[in-house]
Structure 1
Amino acid sequence: MRGETGVQVPVTVRTFTQLFSCTPRGARLARRLVANRMDMWGFPYDGGASESVTLVVAELAANAVRHGRVRGRDFRVRLLLRSGEDTVRVEVADALPERLPVLREAPGEDDEGGRGLLLVAALADRWGTALCPGGTYKSVWAEVRVPGADVRRGAGA
Structure 2
Amino acid sequence: MTTSPRTERRSALPLPLADQTVFSFRFTASPRGARLARRLASCQMDAWGWRYGTPVHDSVELIVAELAANAVTHGRAPGRDAELRLSREDGGFVRIEVSDARGERLPETRGAGSGEDGGRGLLLVTALAWEWGTAPRPGAPGKTVWALVPTMPGHG
TM-score (norm 2): 0.79
Q: Is 1:61 aligned with 2:68?
A: yes
Question: What letter corresponds to residue 93 of structure 2 in structure 1?
Answer: T
CA contact (8 A) 1:39 1:45 kept: yes
CA-to-aligned-CA distance 1:75-96 (integer Å, 9 cap, x gap) = 00001103x5211110000000
Aligned residues: 135
Task: Name the structure 2 match of 1:97.
Answer: 103
- Three-state SS of the structure 2 residue aligned to 1:90 is strand
Letter in 1 for 2:142: Y
Structure 1: which 4+ aligned runs deviate by more than 6 Å?
Answer: none
Partner of 2:82: 75
Q: 1:134 to 1:53 in 2, by over 3 A?
A: closer
Provide closer, same or farther for how the CA distance between residues 39 and 19 of structure 1 changes in structure 2, counting only shifts above 3 A.
same
Q: For structure 1, list consecutive stretches of 5 or more residues without a partner in the other structure.
A: 1-11, 149-157
C-alpha RMSD of matched pairs (Å):
2.0
Rg: which structure is higher?
Answer: 1
In the alignment, is the contact (CA less than 8 A) between 1:43 and 1:50 conserved in 2?
yes
Find 2:36's aligned residue among 19, 29, 32.
29
Alignment of 1:110-125 (within 5 A): 113-125=118-130
Q: Which residue of the partner structure matches residue 45 of structure 2?
A: 38
Higher RCO structure, 1 or 2 (CA under 8 Å, sep 6+): 1
Percent of aligned pairs sharing the same letter? 53
SS in 1 for 2:118: coil
Structure 2 Cα separation of the partners of residues 134 and 87 of structure 1:
25
Q: State the alpha-carbon separation in 2 of the partners of residues 118 and 107 from structure 1.
A: 12
Whether 1:128 aligns to 2:133 is yes
Give distance in 2, aligned partners of 1:57 and 1:70.
19
The match for 2:144 is 139
2: CA distance, partners of 1:76 / 1:121: 21
Provide the secondary structure at the position in 1 that maps to 2:21.
strand
